[in-house]
């Protein structure tokens, strides 16, 4: 079973869709993150949960 690590971003209301996209794109390209959940609240706040797979190195002899 895959193991993931998570990162939660909270963007305040008034953050444009374009700015949110840029932030998520940077995390995806530089850190290997992918979107797990995105929630847009009625007052305009955004809560974005990103995840990336944890890769464990197995020692071989």
**Nearest Cα to Cα of residue 40 among 6, 9, 1:** 9
| Residue 41 domain flag | yes
Flag whether 60 is in a domain: no
In tens, the pLDDT along 16-39 reads 999 999 999 999 999 889 999 999
30 falls within a domain: yes
Whether 1 shows a pLDDT value over 80: the answer reads no
- Write down the pLDDT at residue 60: 87
* Domain count of the fold of the chain: 1
Its domain, for residue 14, covers 4-53
Residue 15 in any domain: the answer is yes
pLDDT score at 49: 96
Residue 25 lies in a domain: yes
**Quick check: 40 pLDDT over 90?**
yes
Residue 14 located in a structural domain: yes
Say if 9 falls within a structural domain: yes
E strands, the chain, are 4-11, 34-40, 46-53
* pLDDT digits 0-9 by tens, 42-58: 999 999 999 999 988 88
């Amino acid at each position: 079973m895959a193991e993931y690590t998570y990162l939660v971003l909270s963007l305040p209301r008034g953050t444009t869709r374009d700015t949110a996209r840029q932030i998520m794109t940077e995390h995806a390209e530089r850190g290997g993150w992918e979107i797990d959940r995105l929630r847009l609240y009625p007052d305009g706040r955004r809560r974005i949960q990103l995840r990336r797979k944890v890769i464990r190195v197995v020692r071989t002899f």
